Amino acid sequence: MGSQTAVKEGVNSVYNEELHARFLLWRDQSGQSISNIARKMNSSTARVSQYINKIYPGNVEELEKDALSLLRREEDLEFVTGPQVFCKTKASTLIWEVLQYCDQKQKMGAALAPSGTGKTETCKEYKRQNRATIFVTADVTTKTPSQILRRIIEQVGGVGQKSSTSEFLQALIERLKGTNRLIIIDDAHFLSWEAFELIRKIHDCARIGIVYTGQERLYEQMKGAEGRAYLFDQIYSRIAIKRDKFQILKKDAQEIVQSLCPELDKECIDFLYRRAKGKGRYRAMTNLLDVAMEIHKQFKTSLGVPLLQEAERFLIGT
């Protein structure tokens, strides 16, 4: 962890740079006022303000304990620490290209692939490394503009109470202007045309990057495969970068498997690779391995192909 020495009126204070940066990012993302933060830290607004500006004249170490306690309660801890395992596969590299390009250029992009190829985990890892990224997952409950707008506002904060969707939208746009942040909409194939139009409005007016990830049918929908190309033309024409050619490679499957269970032999890896090429891809493969490892741990059974076959029968119920 880095540190910096701030000197004011003869007081020497050493700040935990990593913690301070996390604190500022959380404040900006949550939209909390200094007075609200002070109440949550059981502190004074002056004390919090001095910490933010690195001019606190007292015991910084004690103050940072309060700041860390607040972050542990309020911060989205899923994105503070990385996963136990994150493997850089060919698929994740292609998805990362889309995320990075749209983040740096404030463009709109799409990463489209079947379920289980690592889209969501790659997006989460990108957010861990680029904490200002706004990550939202769409589902059957977020088809309307107001619903997806609410999901985004929950991640941004600082919008306040408004009386209509249009007022919330305008407040969000003003909040995001000049921030150069990236919004990732995972499982975007669930969105309605109206929801896509709302996100386009955010992109155009706030000048921030947008990435849609989801299944291949999303892009076909934009191109008019369902006879509604005229509706999606404003979205389709803004897609500056797209990646949708994803392969399940043996070397990637092997890297994932060995990161989870290094002692597996070649026959086991081949068996799991064949599973990864079917429905569910890498996700189905790792689920199978997880079950096999649990059986191995509980019953001290030899970890080989017969155990993987037993785990597969357990999963599919045959």
- Answer yes or no: is 82 within a domain: no
Task: Taking residues 201-223, report their average pLDDT.
Answer: 89
- Computed over every residue of the chain, the mean pLDDT equals 88
- Answer yes or no: is 80 within a domain: no
In this structure, of 23-37, 80-94, 188-202, the range with the lowest mean pLDDT score is: 80-94
Domain of 16, CATH number, reads 1.10.260.40
pLDDT at 235: 87
Longest CA pairwise span in the chain (Å): 75
Task: Taking residues 186-213, report their average pLDDT.
Answer: 95
Q: Are residues 107 and 229 in the same domain?
A: yes
User: Which of 227, 243, 259 lies at the terminal end of a domain, its last residue?
Assistant: 243
pLDDT of 317 strictly over 70: no
Q: Are residues 222 and 101 in the same domain?
A: yes
pLDDT of 158 strictly over 90: no
pLDDT-based confidence at residue 1 (cuts at 50, 70, 90): very low
What does the pLDDT look like over 3-47, one tens digit per residue? 444 444 434 468 999 899 889 888 877 778 899 899 999 999 999
Q: What percent of the chain has a predicted confidence (pLDDT) above 70?
A: 90
Whole-Å CA distances, 85 to 82, 88, 256, 287: 8, 10, 8, 14
Angle among Cα 113, 114, 117 to the nearest 5 degrees reads: 80
Task: Taking residues 111-134, report their average pLDDT.
Answer: 91
pLDDT of 161 strictly over 50: yes
Phi first, then psi: what are they for 55, rounded to 5°? Answer: -130, 20
Q: Are residues 239 and 288 in the same domain?
A: no
Split into its structural domains, the chain has a count of: 3
Domain of 211, CATH number, reads 3.40.50.300
Q: Are residues 37 and 96 in the same domain?
A: no
Q: Are residues 60 and 128 in the same domain?
A: no
Domain span at residue 283 reads 250-316
From its phi and psi, is residue 249 left (phi > 0), alpha (psi between -120 and 50) or beta? beta
pLDDT of 181 strictly over 60: yes
What does the pLDDT look like over 228-241, one tens digit per residue? 667 788 888 899 99
Task: Taking residues 282-305, report their average pLDDT.
Answer: 93
Q: Are residues 95 and 238 in the same domain?
A: yes
pLDDT of 294 strictly over 70: yes
pLDDT-based confidence at residue 157 (cuts at 50, 70, 90): confident
Q: Are residues 182 and 295 in the same domain?
A: no
Predicted TM-score (pTM) above 0.95: no
For the stretch 167-175, contacts whose Cβ atoms lie closer than 8 Å and that sit 24 or more positions apart, written own/partner, are: 169/198, 169/201, 169/202, 172/202, 172/206, 173/201, 173/202, 173/205, 173/206, 175/31
- Answer yes or no: is 17 within a domain: yes
- Answer yes or no: is 137 within a domain: yes
Q: Are residues 136 and 194 in the same domain?
A: yes
- Answer yes or no: is 171 within a domain: yes
pLDDT of 224 strictly over 80: no
Q: Are residues 266 and 155 in the same domain?
A: no
Q: Are residues 129 and 262 in the same domain?
A: no
Task: Taking residues 128-151, report their average pLDDT.
Answer: 91
- Answer yes or no: is 83 within a domain: no
pLDDT of 266 strictly over 60: yes
Q: Are residues 136 and 219 in the same domain?
A: yes
User: Which of 44, 75, 106 lies at the terminal end of a domain, its last residue?
Assistant: 75
Q: Are residues 68 and 96 in the same domain?
A: no
- Answer yes or no: is 55 within a domain: yes
Q: Which residue has the higher pLDDT, 305 or 156?
A: 305
Angle among Cα 62, 67, 73 to the nearest 5 degrees reads: 130
Task: Taking residues 110-138, report their average pLDDT.
Answer: 91
- Answer yes or no: is 81 within a domain: no
Task: Taking residues 51-70, report their average pLDDT.
Answer: 92
Task: Taking residues 67-79, report their average pLDDT.
Answer: 81
